[in-house]
Amino acid sequence: MLERRACAVLRQPRSTQRKPARGRDDEAALTADIVELAKAYGRYGYRRITALLRHAGWMVNAKRVQRIWRREGLKVPQKQPKRGRLWLNDGSCVRVCAERPNHVSADDFVEDRTHDGRKYRMLNVIDEVTCEYLAIGIDRKLNSTTVIDVLSDLFILRGVPDHIRSDNGPEFVAKAVRDWIGAVAAETAYIEPGSPWENGYCESFNSKLRDEMLNGEIFYSLKEAKAAIEAWRRHYNEVRPHSSLGYRPPAPIVLFPERPAALTRPAPPGAQPLALRPVMH
């Protein structure tokens, strides 16, 4: 029987009978590490997984990781509702744009509940240029006094920013808060009412906090929530690859560790420590 006809019957390419398949020696080890990372960081896509692999010592590009990612059936569901914008006649949006670190700090509140159904609130503060998670305040109830306490501690450590962006909530527009911001020589940058997209950096961060942390954890007490969220804050700043920063963390403590210790210290709550295999060259 002719080779052409035999391959047609078996539905195989003729090249399989002439050229032996070539595989890489480290394919199995790389696949196992990708699957382990996907399990530990369930909301990360293949690009962030690639960045973590490179920091761990793998010499691999995103295309190879994507091929393995698809072959293993890994997927991150995306749900992003469309929103409108308020524009001026010239097509620009009214907002102060951050130009350097510590130029604009964005503040916003996030709510969640402990296992007993009681509500607690979080005050998140981020830097719009470095994307660093600067500070967090967590309590059952947060008011203007809490805002001043959190910001004052932050300003002592990091300095006073030029602008503080927030919405028009009562905690931010209170007279005590405005007087205190003016006393420290900063300026307020309130967004327009009903326009959360003008505080887009903080809104984007809040969605990551809820998607990667709050939606996957059950907290039985406020103290447990404080400890777990603070650990995630350190992980976000020191380990988590950020796409707008070239898949580098906002404030890494180790740039290129020889062993993947940075992948597991500090780790997100509930994640299992990851021990990657040595890279085969």
Query: How would residue 228 be classed by pLDDT, with cut points 50, 70 and 90?
Result: very high
Residue 242, strand partner residues: 248
- What is the per-residue pLDDT across 120-134, written as a single tens digit (0 to 9) for each? 999 999 998 888 999
- Per-residue confidence at 255, pLDDT binned at 50, 70, 90? very low
Is the pLDDT at 157 greater than 70? The verdict is yes
Give the pLDDT confidence score for residue 261 in this predicted structure: 43
Predicted confidence (pLDDT) per residue in 42-97, tens digit: 888 899 999 999 988 899 999 999 999 988 888 876 654 555 544 444 444 456 77
104-113 β-sheet, strand order: 133-139, 119-127, 104-113, 163-166, 187-190
| 235: pLDDT strictly greater than 50 | yes
Instruction: Decide if pLDDT at 229 tops 90.
Output: yes
The model carries a pTM of 0.66
Cα separation, 214 vs 210, whole angstroms: 5
What is the structure's pLDDT at 34? Answer: 92
* Main-chain phi, psi angles of 32, to 5 degrees: -65, -40
